[in-house]
Chain A
């Protein structure tokens, strides 16, 4: 063993630079692979840990509060499959929070009362909760995300209103509305319930052992729909624990999976480089091998020395890499946990990490063994004669007699084709790196542009301003009125918050699933709804669906599906498939199509598209002047006025607004006698229920997405660049060592170092070219998958071409720089050897 190790150490010492490059490559592979595997294993424990620590319910049904009734709970009482259940109200919205350093930031937040949270999980308010003015306890993830601390003021801003809480503490939430929850006092919750629109009742359910949670939820939903006088299809959302876990695990593991793919590329590169280098070593050291065999070393010992060399490098790499791998695994776990709102203690599993490291070492040993065994082919005498392999009796490839143009290019290509087999590995490596770089770049730049994200992942038309009008507004007339304004390019009238069920006969799937319904008068006027197949609906019996919805329904373009809304069922022909990452469970029909199920339907939302250069805020002021403030503003504003009449009018507006928002009143008039004077008015100037800057809000959400996408893209490109430079450095170092004599002779003949560097670097150009082409094809296929399942990513041929040229140029430059060792070859040293 000592003998073998001595030989291995001698080899490592002799080829210090290459050994260091291998060390870096293997360390990179070990860190990425083992941390990703450890993180993926650890991710599986996050949700169970959340449930255990918070003692929260596992299965949930949320129902819009205006459609909720305690009658639904009858189903759960005494049900043998239900172990326990409870319910609590919550309000949710995307609102702005004021942060000390970052200013106003848009965030998705859900408010729940102290009592409600205590019913849903084991929530313990801190001692300061009662003492603080307007106390709020946030999830610890929000603390970390916004760098908040106890005692800070926490101001929320929505609909031109502000409310300031005092941060009374932070806690680890359970799995219901994770990450975005804020626990407030009963009084504050009542206030928020009063002024926020999205109010829900959450029902938590635990089932008994052995009971099927999905069927309990489905039965509960069916019971509620039966018991309700309303159509619940768009108002009830049920999710089982199993589904919560599987949905989140995939999202949480995404980054780790990408890292695994990257490490797979590195592992392939390691395998190819080890095989290439051992072959080069044996060719270069064949005389030394003969001498060693002659003095008594067996070929097995020599082969073992090669294996030991790489295993030693792998062991050192693992020792170096294990600490960063642990840290990275922890980071990945923390990142995954924070995405589901968990900020509690997490330990990266050590066993999978160690198994992974051991597997890498074993893999390297096996790879080295597979090539090192070829030493056995050379008995001492044959080794002295430099092996039969160096006797070249093959057909001359690309004879120099036919050289036209540069001899350097000819020599480079001649050498390449003469050793084509050796370059297969390099092709695979560069191809894999091209896939990473190209996919990373395309996705990174695509998602780096908020406009493109909004245009392709939303699946519905994005307007500048959306007005939700009050009930008595005549939609066609109001839309026409808005459209006549010079600032407006067009007005569309979509439907909002409508749910449907969809079924596709016996061949269909998920007949009980609910889908969000998008309704437009004329899809020809929509611009950002992107089709992957077919066309958008034009007639009343046509429907389109998102990729995900079509898969859920189990139908394809041309199939006839049945939509159900408010217990009315109608058949529609599927005309197209739409991309939508943000609203995946959506189906699309025309206004007349929807009226087949709901003849009374009248659109109440008006999407306003402004002309180029029009300021949205200024235009909103104009709308307020013309159609009044938002109803909620009338309701929440303090009664003010200089004269009695003004005060009376303000009071009357407030009362009317309350009646409209709370009792669903659509029109009111009033007449008040003050002495002999009559003060009268109506809701005719209160047409705007809500006004939102849809595009602006979505842009802020898109901004959040960019950071993570850009980060992943940068990592992918960085890793591929690293791998390319490492493999080309190893390749060039080995090639120069192997061809030391030839290169020295050529220097003697008058070839300059620069010309020889060019020749060596140019050898990889055809290989890189082929690899880049193959890599591009694979990347485009990969992007096609993203197109089909996530969102439409636009890739232009020009971008791909520029990127391919950049990759090719990068490979050439890396190879050229790596070949700089040629300079050190001295003709004199070669001759005087």
Chain B
């Protein structure tokens, strides 16, 4: 498969009270184009750290991160920001909508940094909002006037509005109730079906089931990998069982 993102001997460590804590250790990983990669692992295994190192949100301590043939680990912060706006979309656990802007403006804040305003953009915002189930009466509302699920769906629209080459999600349903979480995951599934490359961190098996590849981390390294047919293309019961089995093997 064509690889969109790969790492070479990726290391990330933090200094804490004078002690170096190695969170990611010499990791080699490839993310396939169009893949829905789910990163799982116990707390402190380095899931989120890996996600942010892959996405250019954070710089690795050692090693390289290649986006296509570009070594983004050598970029400075401003160049990384430009890289992110052109190529990546993000969905956060804490959603992080801007409180002082309404739904449309929140999305456009992400969009207009990468592209010029146009009627096509406005149309695309509206189409995507409708697609994720945000009705027109909510478009002028502020985040505080929406439920958590609605906010996260707005967050997803903001993440994909620039048609990113890869979408990163850090426990996107972590702060939502089960019904809202399901709605949000349906959006991810739809995006994946449309060919969107996604990398998602989760510790929830139901969320992981939406992926096509699960990577399991322990102590900063990959200890296992599990491939599954795309969500909806097979018997979900079997997918769940095989994933459960894989996770049990990993000691989850």
Q: B104's contact among A401, A407, A741, by CB below 8 Å, is which?
A: A401
User: A831 contacts B145, CB within 8 Å?
Assistant: no
Counting CB contacts under 8 A, is B147 at the interface?
Answer: no
Query: In the docked arrangement, what's the CA distance between A260 and B31, Å?
Result: 68
User: B92 contacts A831, CB within 8 Å?
Assistant: yes
How extensive is the interface on chain A, given as a class?
A: 35 or more
- In the complex, the chain A residue whose C-beta lies closest to that of B93 is A831
Interface residue stretch chosen among A245-253, A262-270, A376-384, A750-758: A750-758
Query: In the docked arrangement, what's the CA distance between A72 and B102, Å?
Result: 91
User: A400 contacts B108, CB within 8 Å?
Assistant: yes
Counting CB contacts under 8 A, is A746 at the interface?
Answer: yes
Q: B158's contact among A396, A747, A749, by CB below 8 Å, is which?
A: A749
Counting CB contacts under 8 A, is A226 at the interface?
Answer: no
- In the complex, the chain B residue whose C-beta lies closest to that of A406 is B112
- What 0/1 readout, one digit per residue, does chain A (380-411) give for beta carbons within 8 Å of chain B? 00000000001111001001111110010011
Interface residue stretch chosen among A17-25, A227-235, A539-547, A821-829: A821-829
Q: B144's contact among A391, A396, A415, A831, by CB below 8 Å, is which?
A: A391
- In the complex, the chain B residue whose C-beta lies closest to that of A749 is B110
Question: Nearest Cβ distance between residue A97 and chain B, in whole angstroms?
Answer: 65
User: A831 contacts B52, CB within 8 Å?
Assistant: yes
Knowing A400-B105, A749-B110, A754-B78 are in contact, say whether A390-B84 is a contact too (CB < 8 A).
no
Counting CB contacts under 8 A, is B122 at the interface?
Answer: yes
- In the complex, the chain B residue whose C-beta lies closest to that of A829 is B58
Question: Nearest Cβ distance between residue B166 and chain A, in whole angstroms?
Answer: 13
- In the complex, the chain A residue whose C-beta lies closest to that of B112 is A407
Cβ–Cβ < 8 Å partners of A403 in chain B: 108, 112, 117
Query: In the docked arrangement, what's the CA distance between A407 and B113, Å?
Result: 7
Knowing A749-B90, A753-B78 are in contact, say whether A411-B109 is a contact too (CB < 8 A).
yes
Question: Nearest Cβ distance between residue A725 and chain B, in whole angstroms?
Answer: 25
Cβ–Cβ < 8 Å partners of B48 in chain A: 831-832
Query: In the docked arrangement, what's the CA distance between A402 and B122, Å?
Result: 10
* A499-525, CB < 8 A from B: none
* B77-102, CB < 8 A from A: 77-78, 81-82, 84-86, 88, 90, 92, 94, 96-102
Counting CB contacts under 8 A, is A745 at the interface?
Answer: yes
Query: In the docked arrangement, what's the CA distance between A753 and B104, Å?
Result: 24
User: B114 contacts A828, CB within 8 Å?
Assistant: no
Q: A749's contact among B58, B77, B109, B140, by CB below 8 Å, is which?
A: B109
Highest count of chain B CB atoms <10 Å: which of A392, A415, A826: A392
Counting CB contacts under 8 A, is A418 at the interface?
Answer: yes
User: A753 contacts B144, CB within 8 Å?
Assistant: no
* A717-764, CB < 8 A from B: 741-742, 744-755
User: A831 contacts B57, CB within 8 Å?
Assistant: yes
Q: A750's contact among B81, B98, B122, by CB below 8 Å, is which?
A: B81
Query: In the docked arrangement, what's the CA distance between A418 and B110, Å?
Result: 19
Question: Nearest Cβ distance between residue B59 and chain A, in whole angstroms?
Answer: 9
User: A745 contacts B57, CB within 8 Å?
Assistant: no
Query: In the docked arrangement, what's the CA distance between A396 and B141, Å?
Result: 9
Cβ–Cβ < 8 Å partners of B114 in chain A: 750
User: B113 contacts A751, CB within 8 Å?
Assistant: yes
Query: In the docked arrangement, what's the CA distance between A400 and B98, Å?
Result: 13
Cβ–Cβ < 8 Å partners of B231 in chain A: none
Question: Nearest Cβ distance between residue B131 and chain A, in whole angstroms?
Answer: 19
Q: A826's contact among B58, B102, B104, B170, by CB below 8 Å, is which?
A: B58
Counting CB contacts under 8 A, is B246 at the interface?
Answer: no
Knowing A401-B122, A826-B58, A831-B92 are in contact, say whether A749-B144 is a contact too (CB < 8 A).
no
Counting CB contacts under 8 A, is B66 at the interface?
Answer: no
- In the complex, the chain A residue whose C-beta lies closest to that of B105 is A400
Highest count of chain B CB atoms <10 Å: which of A744, A749, A751: A749
- In the complex, the chain B residue whose C-beta lies closest to that of A741 is B96
Highest count of chain B CB atoms <10 Å: which of A400, A411, A746: A400
Question: Nearest Cβ distance between residue A142 and chain B, in whole angstroms?
Answer: 63
Query: In the docked arrangement, what's the CA distance between A755 and B112, Å?
Result: 13
Cβ–Cβ < 8 Å partners of A399 in chain B: 102, 104-105
User: A750 contacts B113, CB within 8 Å?
Assistant: yes
User: B98 contacts A745, CB within 8 Å?
Assistant: yes
Highest count of chain A CB atoms <10 Å: which of B86, B100, B122, B144: B100
Query: In the docked arrangement, what's the CA distance between A562 and B22, Å?
Result: 99
Highest count of chain B CB atoms <10 Å: which of A415, A744, A755: A755
- In the complex, the chain A residue whose C-beta lies closest to that of B81 is A752
User: B170 contacts A750, CB within 8 Å?
Assistant: no
Q: B100's contact among A392, A402, A407, A748, by CB below 8 Å, is which?
A: A392
User: A753 contacts B142, CB within 8 Å?
Assistant: no
Q: A823's contact among B77, B101, B109, by CB below 8 Å, is which?
A: B77
Query: In the docked arrangement, what's the CA distance between A391 and B65, Å?
Result: 40
Cβ–Cβ < 8 Å partners of B77 in chain A: 752-753, 823
Cβ–Cβ < 8 Å partners of A831 in chain B: 48, 52, 57, 92, 94, 96, 170
Cβ–Cβ < 8 Å partners of B90 in chain A: 748-749
User: B100 contacts A742, CB within 8 Å?
Assistant: yes
User: A747 contacts B81, CB within 8 Å?
Assistant: yes
User: B85 contacts A750, CB within 8 Å?
Assistant: yes
* B99-155, CB < 8 A from A: 99-102, 104-105, 108-110, 112-114, 117, 122, 140, 142, 144-145
Question: Nearest Cβ distance between residue A53 and chain B, in whole angstroms?
Answer: 68
- What 0/1 readout, one digit per residue, does chain A (395-436) give for beta carbons within 8 Å of chain B? 010011111100100110001001000000000000000000
User: B82 contacts A742, CB within 8 Å?
Assistant: no
Highest count of chain B CB atoms <10 Å: which of A391, A407, A755: A407
Cβ–Cβ < 8 Å partners of A401 in chain B: 104-105, 108, 117, 122
Knowing A396-B140, A401-B104, A752-B81 are in contact, say whether A746-B57 is a contact too (CB < 8 A).
no
- In the complex, the chain A residue whose C-beta lies closest to that of B92 is A831
Cβ–Cβ < 8 Å partners of A748 in chain B: 57, 84, 90, 92, 96
- What 0/1 readout, one digit per residue, does chain A (40-83) give for beta carbons within 8 Å of chain B? 00000000000000000000000000000000000000000000
User: B112 contacts A400, CB within 8 Å?
Assistant: yes
Cβ–Cβ < 8 Å partners of B112 in chain A: 400, 403, 407, 410
Cβ–Cβ < 8 Å partners of B145 in chain A: 393
Cβ–Cβ < 8 Å partners of A391 in chain B: 142, 144
Question: Nearest Cβ distance between residue A736 and chain B, in whole angstroms?
Answer: 15
User: B117 contacts A749, CB within 8 Å?
Assistant: no
Cβ–Cβ < 8 Å partners of B100 in chain A: 392, 415, 418, 742
Question: Nearest Cβ distance between residue B232 and chain A, in whole angstroms?
Answer: 30
Query: In the docked arrangement, what's the CA distance between A189 and B144, Å?
Result: 93
Cβ–Cβ < 8 Å partners of A823 in chain B: 77
Query: In the docked arrangement, what's the CA distance between A401 and B126, Å?
Result: 11
Cβ–Cβ < 8 Å partners of B84 in chain A: 748-750
Cβ–Cβ < 8 Å partners of A832 in chain B: 48
Cβ–Cβ < 8 Å partners of B94 in chain A: 831
Cβ–Cβ < 8 Å partners of A404 in chain B: 117
- What 0/1 readout, one digit per residue, does chain A (435-454) give for beta carbons within 8 Å of chain B? 00000000000000000000
Cβ–Cβ < 8 Å partners of B99 in chain A: 390, 392, 742
Query: In the docked arrangement, what's the CA distance between A751 and B162, Å?
Result: 14
Q: A403-B117, A407-B113, A745-B97 are in contact. List 19 more A-B contacts (CB 8 A).
A: A392-B142, A392-B144, A400-B101, A400-B104, A401-B108, A403-B108, A407-B112, A741-B96, A742-B99, A749-B113, A750-B82, A750-B113, A751-B81, A753-B77, A828-B52, A831-B92, A831-B94, A831-B170, A832-B48
Nearest 4 interchain pairs by C-beta: A750-B85, A407-B112, A400-B108, A752-B78
Residues of A within 8 A of B (CB): 390-393, 396, 399-404, 407, 410-411, 415, 418, 741-742, 744-755, 823, 826-828, 831-832
Residues of B within 8 A of A (CB): 48, 52, 57-58, 77-78, 81-82, 84-86, 88, 90, 92, 94, 96-102, 104-105, 108-110, 112-114, 117, 122, 140, 142, 144-145, 158, 170
Cross-chain pairs A/B with CB under 8 angstroms, 21 sampled: A390-B99, A393-B145, A396-B101, A399-B102, A400-B101, A403-B117, A404-B117, A407-B109, A407-B117, A742-B99, A746-B113, A748-B84, A749-B85, A749-B110, A750-B82, A750-B114, A753-B81, A828-B58, A831-B57, A831-B92, A831-B96
